[in-house]
Chains A and B, each alone.
Chain A
Amino acid sequence: MADQGDTGEAITILLVEDDAPTCWRLQDALKKAGYDARTAGSLGEARSALAGGAPRVLLTDLRLPDGHGVELIREVRRRFPETEIMVISALGDEESVISAITVGATGYLLKDAFPTDIATTVRDLVAGHSPISASIARFIVRRTQNSAEPPPGPVLNTAKLTPREIDILWGIAKGFSYAEIAGHLGLSRQTVPGHIKNIYRKLEVHTRSEAVFEAVQQGLIKL
């Protein structure tokens, strides 16, 4: 049952979560699925863990005792471009997920997800399939519509999205499955997850100063 990387070794995961019970719970689920999951309870611990080498997957909470998860995501994204990054969110709300996406995360994991779902999500992510929820998709597509005044919540630049990608997001927001979306849009079912990863990549803010500016704007970082 163990998922294997290309080298045949277990996939390495760095789990950054300050709430001990949640941390154990997630680690348990990942270990049971055969992943090599190490944990860190703070930004500092995470950085020292990263000194030992890049994990294949980074799972991080946003609120950490000594800093903000956004900083960590940004750092990892820059230093280890190969690492897949997911944000752990209590509610899966767009506030946390979108701000993580804009600095380089390509997915989110609910803290109360069932163990099997946790394993599946990580496996899909490594396979290049980014998870997206209806509410996140809704948030993004509604940003592509309203142009009169910046709506509340994280700043999001949707200008790069193609009409097809926006159509896919609409489908997800309305609860259609990938297969149904592919059917409506005349796509092959396998290409939809790739589109979603592209969407995440297009929403990423690429300069550091931009990212910091936006994080400050959103109140995620206090200077």
Chain B
Amino acid sequence: MSEIAAKAVVSPRRLRLARFLPYLLLQILIVIVTMLGLRLLEPRDPDNFAVSEFSLREAGSTRQVTLPHFTASRYSLADPPLYSGKFVFKSDSTNRIDANTTWSVFLPRFSNGVEIAVNGVALLDSRRDPSANRPDRNTPEIAVIPASLLREGSNDITVRLFVWGPLRGFLDTVYVGPDDALRPAYETRTLLFVTLPVVFSAWQSILAVILAIMWLMRRHEPVYGVLAAAMVLGVVQAFLTLPVPPATSSRLAGVLLSSAPLESALIVASAVLFLGWRWPRYGVLLFVPGLIVIAGGLIAGPPLPRILFMLLGIPTVGFCLVLMAGIAAHAALRRQDVVSFALGCAATIVLTCWAHDMLSVFEIMPNERTFVSRLSYSALLIAIGAGLTWRFARALNQVDSFAGQLVARVREAEERLKASFVREEARARAAALANERTRLMRDLHDGLGGQLISIVALSERGQEGAPITDAARAALKDLRLVIDSMDDIGGDLMLALGSWRERAAMQLRPHDIALDWRVATPQGLPLHPELRPWHVIQIVRILDEAVTNAVKHAAARHIIVTIETRDDGQGPYGVISVADDGRGFALGDEGEAAGVNHTARGLRNMRSRATRCGAVLDLNSDTSGTEVRLQLPKVFPDSDVAAG
């Protein structure tokens, strides 16, 4: 008993374990692929033109540094760290068609802002570029150095690095060289870190619109509303330009910074709802860090919101990602469906990238500050979009199959209705017939029947009454046949033959003729739902005629009635035969009895009756007796086949 219970408990657990291992392996594989992908996708910079030896003047002291270089975190833009270096310009006119080759200075990565000057002339201030001010976007900068500024030989380059905390400032290697050589690297970085995020933000805005419409149409499914809110937050965050920190609108910056933790909390909530689980009450706690960052941004000025974001926002995002991965894994193991798998994989990708970013924030991965979380978030967006589409398509399929089922069911019901209508009609007809029969029977019983009985009784008293008695009895017999055949026998001809046997036995008893009744099987004859009273009358009259002939003309001592069902492979049919041991009669041409007129007429009658109900009559007669063999049709005809 307990063993069975233990087994019952263990087996689903085992099953889940058996599913969990491959899932885990898949996620590990995805982590590896993601890391490899990050390595491969990292843009190659033109190392020939690197300028990395600088002297840094920071906080009054000067020292030699090699780029890439991290500076201390700062909260003031005044007196920024100043990097001064030299590069050599050679107008290599012999090798070039155009002597005035354009040279540029290219900064692949810096945080948070730079001002570049060559030979004391400022070329570029990145603070003017809104997208460059976002530390989460790895915006590169390139500036063309006017030819007039360049001197043959050594030139000076200075970079002022503006840093606003709490992150430490970072300046990657600076590249100075021919524009043609630098431009491709710049373009690649712009594509990856500026254009692609915009594309994804556009995709996110489309999702936001679709989800909002979905939610408006289906208010009872809050998952769409929650997801739409997350998407809207993301879009606003992506497209609103971040002001340069000293600006007065820093409160707005605080609000914008808080969007990431809020957005991730919303995504987790929508995942829970999407998978059909209940959102727990303590789930509200997930939104608290985001709200604290907002509050900090609204109440206090910078740099508090940024510090709060670092301390609360980023861990919250990470926590949400872990939650997301856990939820998706659980759903994937439970349901084994495409959506859960896709969500799980996407969550793993984003989580890997988040971990990568954390490593670079804490400078565990040296010489690098490329943030990829935001970019990888697009994987999750794609998964969400795919999941929604998949769900929508499946719902449509369900509607289709439901409609199909409905059509099939309606058709079925229609057919049943038709059948029941036919049945009802048949039943009503049978009921009408039965009523009529009852009425007729009462009438005949009280009138004609009684009078015939009286005739029998009266004629039996006189000596010459015998023919009258016989006539009256025959009339009574026929009357009983007519009444009997009107009864609904449900297509079972045996029921009519049962009554006929009684009447025939009664008829034969005074003549001392034995009636031998042989039925091959208890069922006797096949059922014929199409059997109508007039078929029954014809068949019974044929049998009556056969018996009457045997009594009146053949002087028989035995009559054998054989009833059997035959089947020649095309459906069963009945055969009834009436055989006597009388002296028989001579058959003329075409099987007509010669001589006795009455017999001939009787035979003709029998044949025409048989033809009318689709039966085949066979007649064999010789001196040892007569056999009338009636082969019933497989299906009785609806109306008279031939006029008698």
A133: B residues at CB distance < 8 A: 499, 502
A19 within 8 A of B: yes
User: Number of contacting residues on A, CB 8 A?
Assistant: 41
A3 within 8 A of B: no
Check B446 against A134 for contact (C-beta < 8 Å): no
A139: B residues at CB distance < 8 A: 487
Measured CA separation A142–B444 after assembly (Å): 23
A105 within 8 A of B: no
Per-position contact with A for B488-523: 1 when CB-CB < 8 Å, else 0? 111010110111111000100110000001010010
B502 to chain A, nearest CB (A): 5
B602 within 8 A of A: no
Interface centre among B431, B454, B479, B497 (most CB of A within 10 A): B454
Minimal Cβ-Cβ distance residue in B for A141: B495
B434 within 8 A of A: yes
B510: A residues at CB distance < 8 A: 114
B444: A residues at CB distance < 8 A: 91
Task: Name B453's contact: one of A112, A114, A153, A175 (CB within 8 Å).
Answer: A112
B453: A residues at CB distance < 8 A: 19, 22, 90, 111-112
Check A92 against B480 for contact (C-beta < 8 Å): yes
B193 to chain A, nearest CB (A): 82
Check B497 against A148 for contact (C-beta < 8 Å): no
Check B473 against A112 for contact (C-beta < 8 Å): yes
A206 within 8 A of B: no
B500: A residues at CB distance < 8 A: 175
Minimal Cβ-Cβ distance residue in B for A176: B519
B458 within 8 A of A: yes
B67 within 8 A of A: no
Minimal Cβ-Cβ distance residue in B for A21: B457
User: Number of contacting residues on B, CB 8 A?
Assistant: 47
Q: Which secondary structure dominates where chain B touches chain A?
A: helix
Minimal Cβ-Cβ distance residue in B for A135: B499
Check B502 against A184 for contact (C-beta < 8 Å): no
Interface centre among B444, B487, B524 (most CB of A within 10 A): B487
B483 within 8 A of A: yes
Interface centre among B480, B489, B498 (most CB of A within 10 A): B498
B68 within 8 A of A: no
A24: B residues at CB distance < 8 A: 457, 461
B476 within 8 A of A: yes
Q: A93-B483, A152-B435, A180-B519 are in contact. Are A22 and B501 (CB under 8 A)?
A: no
Check A93 against B441 for contact (C-beta < 8 Å): yes
Check A134 against B457 for contact (C-beta < 8 Å): no
A108 to chain B, nearest CB (A): 12
Measured CA separation A186–B153 after assembly (Å): 128
Measured CA separation A24–B456 after assembly (Å): 12
Check B499 against A91 for contact (C-beta < 8 Å): no
Check A142 against B490 for contact (C-beta < 8 Å): yes
A120 to chain B, nearest CB (A): 10
A130 within 8 A of B: no
Minimal Cβ-Cβ distance residue in A for B456: A112
Minimal Cβ-Cβ distance residue in B for A171: B522
B445 within 8 A of A: yes
A218 to chain B, nearest CB (A): 10
Residues 87-102 (chain A) with a chain B CB within 8 angstroms: 89-93, 95-96
Measured CA separation A176–B519 after assembly (Å): 8
B128: A residues at CB distance < 8 A: none
A21: B residues at CB distance < 8 A: 454, 457-458, 461
Check A152 against B506 for contact (C-beta < 8 Å): no
Residues 435-449 (chain B) with a chain A CB within 8 angstroms: 435, 438, 441-442, 444-446, 449
Minimal Cβ-Cβ distance residue in A for B423: A148
B13 within 8 A of A: no
A131 to chain B, nearest CB (A): 10
Minimal Cβ-Cβ distance residue in A for B435: A152
A176: B residues at CB distance < 8 A: 498, 517, 519, 522
Check B445 against A174 for contact (C-beta < 8 Å): no
B479: A residues at CB distance < 8 A: 91
A135: B residues at CB distance < 8 A: 484, 487, 498-499
Q: A19-B450, A96-B445 are in contact. Are A175 and B457 (CB under 8 A)?
A: no
Check A175 against B450 for contact (C-beta < 8 Å): no
B467 to chain A, nearest CB (A): 16
Check B497 against A174 for contact (C-beta < 8 Å): yes
Measured CA separation A143–B457 after assembly (Å): 35
A173 within 8 A of B: yes
B592 within 8 A of A: no
Measured CA separation A172–B495 after assembly (Å): 9
A138 within 8 A of B: yes
Check A134 against B499 for contact (C-beta < 8 Å): yes
Check B499 against A175 for contact (C-beta < 8 Å): yes
Check B488 against A142 for contact (C-beta < 8 Å): yes
Residues 120-172 (chain A) with a chain B CB within 8 angstroms: 133-135, 137-139, 142, 145, 148-149, 151-153, 171-172
Check A173 against B495 for contact (C-beta < 8 Å): yes
Measured CA separation A137–B494 after assembly (Å): 13
Check A175 against B517 for contact (C-beta < 8 Å): yes
A63 within 8 A of B: yes
Minimal Cβ-Cβ distance residue in B for A134: B498
B441: A residues at CB distance < 8 A: 91, 93, 95
B456: A residues at CB distance < 8 A: 25, 111-112
Check A152 against B431 for contact (C-beta < 8 Å): yes
A210 within 8 A of B: no
Minimal Cβ-Cβ distance residue in A for B561: A175
Interface centre among A96, A134, A173 (most CB of B within 10 A): A134
Task: Name B446's contact: one of A63, A113, A117 (CB within 8 Å).
Answer: A63
B460 within 8 A of A: yes
A190 within 8 A of B: no
Check A95 against B445 for contact (C-beta < 8 Å): yes
A217 within 8 A of B: no
Measured CA separation A174–B479 after assembly (Å): 20
B418 within 8 A of A: no
A79 to chain B, nearest CB (A): 28
Measured CA separation A153–B458 after assembly (Å): 32
B427 within 8 A of A: yes
Measured CA separation A151–B502 after assembly (Å): 25
Check A174 against B494 for contact (C-beta < 8 Å): yes
Measured CA separation A205–B495 after assembly (Å): 27
Interface centre among A22, A138, A180, A184 (most CB of B within 10 A): A138
Check B434 against A117 for contact (C-beta < 8 Å): no
Minimal Cβ-Cβ distance residue in B for A181: B522
Measured CA separation A174–B458 after assembly (Å): 34
Measured CA separation A120–B476 after assembly (Å): 21
Check B445 against A22 for contact (C-beta < 8 Å): no
Task: Name A117's contact: one of B442, B457, B492, B506 (CB within 8 Å).
Answer: B506
Per-position contact with B for A1-33: 1 when CB-CB < 8 Å, else 0? 000000000000000000101101100000000
Check A25 against B522 for contact (C-beta < 8 Å): no
Measured CA separation A153–B454 after assembly (Å): 26
B446: A residues at CB distance < 8 A: 63
Instruction: List 9 A-B residue pairs with CB atoms under 8 Å apart, sorted by A's residue number.
Output: A21-B457, A93-B441, A112-B456, A116-B509, A133-B499, A134-B498, A137-B498, A174-B497, A174-B519
- Which 7 residue pairs across A and B have the least CB separation, nearest first? A175-B498, A134-B498, A21-B457, A90-B449, A175-B501, A25-B457, A174-B494
7 more A-B residue pairs beyond the given contacts A134-B498, A152-B431, with a C-beta to C-beta distance below 8 A: A21-B457, A21-B458, A96-B445, A111-B456, A112-B473, A174-B498, A176-B519
